Structure 1
């Protein structure tokens, strides 16, 4: 295991180094930046700021400075927000993390339950209804579902707030603050769960159908085991093994936020901040966020491989 981890970490560092160069060059070579597009600044002030922030230096020299600072935990300074990039991450990323964790948990629980029952009752009316609803949910764009639920639940029925994380002017603390946040996050969590549960349910359903047909499932039933025990202890355990590889891809989404959902519901998360930064050409923030996603992706891939080995020791790590 130690030799495998050493080799994988070496590969990860090489991949991240190549990704950092690609990310930096992509944003650095994009025409326009926050200083150039700021009509409030005079040409002299623009030239002064470009000199202060080193935008006039050669590309590779700028990349070297950026990487050197990144190794010391400094991903630059957001010109639009007038704050360090890491400070902005700390302010916004945990709001996105809250939405992602709750919606991911609900997505997996619902997908596992529906997928198991649908596979067990294959070609029944329940299975047919599930497949129709799954394809319907997957075919509708996220902004349509979000706006429809805002119209229905917030505007017409007035059950839930249309957006934001807290009521305007709220000074709630303690449990009152928690209840208010839960009240505001209900709609975006519902939308994110609906969007994710469709494909994951199909995945579990197909895995369960394959596992149920195996000989050891027939043997378990022949021994007189209860059907619930056969399904959830024997079949589901093996059907979940391929899904472990999906865990690694969940890590970037936990911290990356949902760009469209956060914008629709005005949720103060990293996704909405990322969209705003695009419009303002705030490249230091964009580079730092993209690099963060790259780091989380390679870490998530490593975790999924290790978890798969733990769950199934027959799989060898090379």
Structure 2
């Protein structure tokens, strides 16, 4: 295990080095930036700011300075927000994480339950309804589902607030604050769960269908084991193994935010800030956040590989 981890860490460093070069030069060589795109500034002021922020230096020298700062825990300074990038991460990323972790838990729980039942009752009326719902959920755009539920649940029935994280002018503290946040996050969580549960349910169903046809399932039934034991202890455990691979890709998604959902529901998350940075050409924030997602992706793949080995000892690292 230690030898494997050492090799993987070396690979991770090489991959991060390549990703850092790609990310930096992609943004650095893009025409325009926050200073040159600001029409309210005079030419003298623009030149002064470009010199102050180091934008007038050669690209490769800027890359070396940026990487040196990254190794010191400094991801840069947002020109549009006038704050350090890590400070903005701390302000916005946890709002996105709150939505993502809740919707991910609900998505996986529903997908496993529905997928197992649908595979066990293959070609039944339940399975048919599930497949119809899956393809419907996968084909409908996220913005349509979001706007539709806002119309029904927020406008017509007034059960849930249409957007935001807190009520306008709210000074709630303590439990009242948490209750208000939960009330506001209910609608975006419902939409994110509906969007994710379809494809994941189909994935679990297909895995369960394949596992249920294996010889060891027939052997377990021939031994007289209870159907519940065969289904959950033998079939489900092996059907979940391929899904471990997906865990690695969930990690950057937890902190990456949902661009469309946060925009529709006016949720103050990192996804909406990321889109605003594109419009302002705030490249330091864009580079820092993209590199942050690259780090999470590499860590996630390492975790999924280790978890796969833990879940199935037959798999060699």
Asked whether the two chains share a fold, i.e. TM above 0.5, the reply is yes
Cα distance in 1 between the residues matched to 2:96 and 2:36 = 31
Residue of structure 2 equivalent to 1:232: 232
Cα distance in 2 between the residues matched to 1:160 and 1:279 = 31
Residue of structure 2 equivalent to 1:211: 211
Residue of structure 2 equivalent to 1:35: 35
Cα distance in 2 between the residues matched to 1:141 and 1:212 = 33
Cα distance in 2 between the residues matched to 1:182 and 1:113 = 25
Cα distance in 1 between the residues matched to 2:121 and 2:299 = 38
Cα distance in 1 between the residues matched to 2:259 and 2:48 = 34
Residue of structure 2 equivalent to 1:96: 96
1:175 aligns with 2:198: no
Cα displacement (A) at 1:224 = 2.1
Cα distance in 2 between the residues matched to 1:79 and 1:210 = 53
Q: CA RMSD in A?
A: 0.7
Residue of structure 2 equivalent to 1:192: 192
Q: How does 1:254-269 map to 2 (within 5 A)?
A: 254-269=254-269
Q: Structure 1: 5+ residue runs without aligned partners?
A: none
Cα distance in 2 between the residues matched to 1:229 and 1:315 = 24
Runs of 4+ aligned structure 1 residues displaced above 3 Å come to none
Residue of structure 2 equivalent to 1:71: 71
Q: How does 1:307-318 map to 2 (within 5 A)?
A: 307-317=307-317
Cα displacement (A) at 1:37 = 1.1
Cα distance in 1 between the residues matched to 2:79 and 2:214 = 60
Cα displacement (A) at 1:213 = 0.8
Select between 226-235 and 241-250 the one with higher mean Cα deviation. Answer: 226-235
Cα displacement (A) at 1:228 = 1.5
1:153 aligns with 2:160: no
Residue of structure 2 equivalent to 1:292: 292
Q: Any idea what SS the aligned residue of 2:310 has?
A: helix
Cα distance in 2 between the residues matched to 1:306 and 1:208 = 23
1:139 aligns with 2:163: no
Residue of structure 2 equivalent to 1:162: 162
Q: After superposition, what is the alpha-carbon deviation per residue over 1:187-208, rounded to whole angstroms, capped at 9, x for unaligned?
A: 1101110111111101100100
Select between 300-309 and 171-180 the one with higher mean Cα deviation. Answer: 171-180
Cα distance in 2 between the residues matched to 1:230 and 1:315 = 23
Cα distance in 1 between the residues matched to 2:98 and 2:165 = 11
- The count of aligned residue pairs is 317
Cα distance in 2 between the residues matched to 1:166 and 1:228 = 45
Cα displacement (A) at 1:223 = 2.1
Q: After superposition, what is the alpha-carbon deviation per residue over 1:132-172, rounded to whole angstroms, capped at 9, x for unaligned?
A: 00000000111111111111111111111010000011111
Cα distance in 2 between the residues matched to 1:278 and 1:303 = 31
Residue of structure 1 equivalent to 2:60: 60
1:303 aligns with 2:303: yes
Cα distance in 2 between the residues matched to 1:223 and 1:165 = 55
Cα distance in 1 between the residues matched to 2:276 and 2:155 = 26
Cα distance in 1 between the residues matched to 2:122 and 2:284 = 52
TM-score of the pair, normalised by structure 1: 0.99
Cα displacement (A) at 1:263 = 0.7
Residue of structure 2 equivalent to 1:7: 7
Select between 208-217 and 246-255 the one with higher mean Cα deviation. Answer: 208-217
Select between 220-229 and 174-183 the one with higher mean Cα deviation. Answer: 220-229
